[in-house]
Amino acid sequence: MKKTLIFLAVVAMAMMASGCASKIQDQTIDTTELGKDVIGYKGPVPVQISIKNGKVESVIALENEETPRFFDRAAVILDSWNGLKVDKAKELKVDAVSGATYTSNAIIENVRLGLEAVK
């Protein structure tokens, strides 16, 4: 029994040292399909989320039909998640931008869906 526990402890330490233990892989999530039903003022507002070393590296807006003037107001929230570990980014409460509420809420929901899809 004691040998088994020691063996399991050694295996667990080796996995942690090698980065195998629950490390979020670098990846890019495109919410075009995930958020196809998330509508801003004039239609879907997909984003691309880049994850590196377990943190959100960037959130970039993808092509959409929003009015540029309103989208530009809402786009200021895209940097809100940058630099956060994925788990913290999932918990972040971002407020919509006044005057561009529909677009802001669509961005926020797309980011939420994208972060939920992170493996």
39-90 confidence digits (pLDDT tens): 999 999 999 999 999 999 999 999 999 999 999 999 999 999 999 999 999 9
Structural contact between residues 85 and 115, judged by C-beta atoms closer than 8 angstroms: no
pLDDT tens digits for range 1-43: 655 445 444 555 555 554 544 577 899 999 999 999 999 999 9
Burial class (CB in 10 A: 0-12, 13-18, 19+), 35: buried
Burial class (CB in 10 A: 0-12, 13-18, 19+), 96: middle
Which residue in 52, 55, 67, 57 sits closest to 106, CA to CA? 67
Top-level class of domain 24-116? alpha beta
Helix (H) or strand (E) holding 49: strand 47-52
